[in-house]
Amino acid sequence: MNRLAIYCGSATPTDPVYIESARMVGRTLAQRGIGVVYGGGRLGLMGAVADAALEAGGEVIGVIPDALVNAEVAHCGCTALHTVQTMHQRKQLFTDLSDGFISIPGGVGTMDELWEAVSWAQLGYHEKPVGLLNIAGYYDHLIAFAEHMAEVGFVRPQHRGILIVDDTLDGLLAKMAEYKPHTTIFRMTSDQL
């Protein structure tokens, strides 16, 4: 994996564990020679990931819609900063530029990015690993809900492994490196659906 898209919030929660963890993610990826592709902002967890990666000598590519340049305060210190017109173009460029995806804590935008990456993998628009770093148990309920969707039957058995989860970055990166693409919906026959 040469580059990973990092999905995370532009907010700064009061608990410092989130900012500290975001900095650890950026720093660790840079130290491993893995470039960061992210939302292009300089505030909150986004800024913490980017700043730490840059401080460690890493590549940081920001992708930000022009409407959010001022709202998210675009990070002008990135290795490259792409300005796009729409959120769809933003997510497409994340996919085009990266070899996989990691979501760390964030809000609605982060959820949108995470679930689109999972959905696109399920369908077959990409075959890249989709990771969820469960910092301080932030995603415990989401992980339980993902399991519930599978148990009820809304996620096919062959797609249960798309979302790769771990509580540590080292563990998550190891699992993502071992990821084997599943049978996508586009490759299934009607009797498999």
- When the pLDDT of each residue in the chain is averaged and rounded to a whole number, the result is 95
Start-to-end CA distance of the chain, whole Å, equals 31
Question: How do strand 80-84 and strand 60-65 relate by DSSP bridges?
Answer: parallel
Length of the chain, in residues = 193
Residue 72 has pLDDT above 70, yes or no: no
Sign of the torsion angle spanned by Cα atoms 124, 132, 145, 157? positive
pTM of the model: 0.94
CB 9 within 8 A of CB 107: yes
The residues near 88 (Cβ < 8 Å, ≥ 6 apart) are none
Per residue in 20-51, pLDDT (tens digit) is: 999 999 999 999 999 999 999 999 999 999 99
Per residue in 125-182, pLDDT (tens digit) is: 999 999 999 999 999 999 999 999 999 999 999 999 999 999 999 999 999 999 998 8
Is CATH 3.40.50.450 the right assignment for the domain spanning 3-192? yes
Give the residue extent of every domain in the chain: 3-192
